[in-house]
Amino acid sequence: MLPLQSAGGGIAFVIGLLVLALFIYMVYWTYRDAQRNSAHPAFLWAIVVFLAPLLGIVLYVLLGRD
């Protein structure tokens, strides 16, 4: 094994954690924003963003906000 190969795994792990944190924040932000700015149930918008993150956030911004 080359020394450079093991260093890439750590960087990939950190990037994966950042992506996971961003995903969780998107669901949280959608839920909190929908509580304040949407006539639809906030929990349902959070589920939509959880199941389809990019499409869900676009749909929420276009259709879900009053």
pLDDT band at 14 (very low <50, low <70, confident <90, very high): confident
The neighbour count for residue 49, using CB atoms within 10 Å, is: 25
| Residue 17 falls inside a structural domain | no
Q: Average pLDDT, stretch 37-59?
A: 94
In a domain, 65, yes or no: yes
Residues 58/30, Cβ–Cβ less than 8 Å: no
Q: Is residue 35 part of a domain?
A: yes
Q: How many domains does the chain have?
A: 1
| Residue 3 binned pLDDT confidence (cut-offs 50, 70, 90) | low
Q: Is residue 7 assigned to a domain?
A: no
In a domain, 36, yes or no: yes
In a domain, 12, yes or no: no
What are the angstrom distances between the C-alpha of 5 and each of 14, 29, 53? 15, 37, 31
For range 49-54, the mean pLDDT: 94
Tell me, yes or no, whether 46 lies in a domain.
yes
Please check the confidence at residue 52 and state whether its pLDDT lies above 80. yes
